[in-house]
Amino acid sequence: MNPETARRFGGEVAEGILDWYGREGRLFPWRRVGEGRDRRGLPLHDPYLILLSEIMLQQTQAARVVEKLPEFLETFPNVERLASASKADLLRAWQGMGYNSRALRLKAAAEIIVNNFNGEFPRDFKQLRSLPGIGRYTASAILCFAFGEQIPVVDVNIARVLSRIFFKCYTPLQRFREDDLYDLDATLIPSGESYRWHQALMDFGAVVCTARSPSCSSCPIKDYCISATFPLGHSLFDVQSIRKEEPSFRGFPRRIWRGRVVELLRGAERGMRVAEVMESLVDSTQPLSELDRRELLAILSRLREDGLVEITGVVREGGLKEFDVVRLPT
């Protein structure tokens, strides 16, 4: 980082981004636009609402979360209802969100909040970090967005924006050390504006300083960004990123097959035999080979290990059999 840039221009950068946010900021149901309560009576800064939105947004597009969050809140309006829900009901309510393990971690966190903290969200960073599924960013987001703490919050968008402005980035996806970015962010937070500042940074990264096609020419703070211009006229988009390879089966990542299994079981309250699951997952015009069967059995076994399905039947040497019954967990 160029400390001189941060010291000299931090105020101008913050002012420019907050001015942009005042004109262009996005509206989301989990954002506080003032004190008071929403149509369901929930405080607009309710930590439960913040927790739900942050977990949902981790690996799901914001537009999908906007659609899904109200439905989820109708079923699980508070942390107590979520804690007492069956895993099967929770996974059905999570339909369409993907990465179903998030739902189970969310329930586990709710159970601890209810059982260990009398239903009150802890306001201590270490206690929040100890909850299942809550890392450094989510704990910081709850403290900032729900409780108004003046603390640094760094998600992937914020990391990208701060890295590009105050460090020299040479590739579109380049970011710098998380600790350095948190330290930098702590020096930039305008007094009393932590909530708006971090919402503004996230929107700025999503709309202007995007991952692959940043709008450098129209950026309102381009005069302060040390990555805005490059030697020989290069831009952030000149370097192609390398896509990470995922374990796959029949041309699709295994995570897709995992999601398909859970989706099948959402509509089968009594479960399905393993053989039925396998036959339903693949094109009937392409018979399952022995290798296919072993791969699908391995996927089911991993889902069971992760707590996303239950297998009924005798536990035996050699693992799952095709006549065993698989269903959502209770």
Catalytic residues: 54
Structure tokens that stand for 204 in this block = 């700025």
- For the chain, state the CA radius of gyration: 23
Residue 144 — φ and ψ, nearest 5°?
-75, -55
DSSP conformation class of 252: E
Burial class (CB in 10 A: 0-12, 13-18, 19+), 60: middle
Token pair in block for residue 154 = 């760094």
d(CA 40, CA 42): 6
Across 135-163, b (16+ Cβ under 10 Å) vs e yields ebbbbbbbbbbbeebebbbbbebbbbbbb
What is the C-alpha separation between 50 and 45, in angstroms, rounded?
Answer: 7
- Token pair listed for 134: 């809550």
